[in-house]
Structure 1
Amino acid sequence: MATQPSRKAILSLYASTLRTAKSFSSYNFRNYFVSRTQDTFRGMQVEQDSTKLSQAYDKAVNELAVLRRSAVLNQLYGGLRLAVEEQSNVRTRGDT
């Protein structure tokens, strides 16, 4: 029988995964992984079966390792910022 992870362990994993998802330099990847993280942990929040919760937790731990490696690569090879992202040095029509 699998032991159920503690609430503190799940919240810690959620915070780590969310922090890693937000570290992507690419806007599209960042938003996708933040949304996916939130959906994954919402599913874990309502799970009643301790075996399924334990399996979901183990899967999330493994996915965090993959996400961390992917974030590092994305930061190394991140492209230009998109138009939808806030840019501080953008000139508007009224600027002279």
Structure 2
Amino acid sequence: MSAVPSRRAILSLYSSTLRTAKSFSSYNFKNYFVRRTRDVFRSIQAEQDPSRVQSMYQEAVQDLTVMRRSAIVNQLYGGWKLAVEDPAKPVLERSDN
């Protein structure tokens, strides 16, 4: 049985996965993968069983390799920008007063 990953290894994987998630050119994919990354690593953080932490870590490593390939393809075929992403359009702030 392999050793439980260290806190530093998990944090390094988290930052790599988050960086890759933010590299998607598509707004919807980017937001989905950032949200999914945070959810996955919160569940790893909450897990107490060392063998389960190890298996979740290994799954996250495999997901990172798939996400990296997907991000490259998404950057090649990004498509049009959404209105939400348009930097030239002024952002309207919500007033709750």
With the length of structure 2 as denominator, give the TM-score of the two structures.
0.88
Name the counterpart of 1:49.
49
CA deviation profile, 1:41-73 (whole Å, cap 9, x unmatched)? 000001100000000000000000000000000
Name the counterpart of 1:65.
65
Counting matched residue pairs gives: 90
Distance 1:57 1:86 in 2: 36
- Percent identity between the two aligned chains: 62
Aligned: 1:31 with 2:31: yes
Which sections of structure 2, spanning at least 5 residues, go unmatched? 91-97
Distance 1:16 1:66 in 2: 13
Q: CA RMSD in A?
A: 1.3
Which sections of structure 1, spanning at least 5 residues, go unmatched? 92-96
Query: What stretches of structure 1 move > 6 A for 4+ residues in a row?
Result: none
Distance 1:66 1:77 in 2: 17
